[in-house]
A = this chain, B = another copy of it.
């Protein structure tokens, strides 16, 4: 079966405070980078998956996000899938 690589971003929902991002935004000022604002920090996950087709891989990755990788009460996710070489 072909192998696919998924790149997933899991980010805190826009409506929620992101204390880690807020702290980093503040640190940017102290580092001499005051033009950087509105930092938000989430997770990036890469994984390999064997599947019959890209659509099948996409369905499995969506399932993995919902079941394990993303807490949908506090986070949103998006992902892209590429065929591995």
Contacts and interface: CB of A to CB of B under 8 A. Distances in A.
Interface in A56-76: 60-61, 63-64, 67-69
A49 B37 contact: yes
A28 B64 CA distance: 7
Copies in the complex: 2
Contact of A68 (B28, B37, B40, B46): B28
Given A28-B68, A33-B60, A64-B28, A45 B49 contact: no
Interface residues of A, number: 35
Interface of A: 7, 9-11, 21, 24-25, 27-28, 31, 33, 35-51, 60-61, 63-64, 67-69
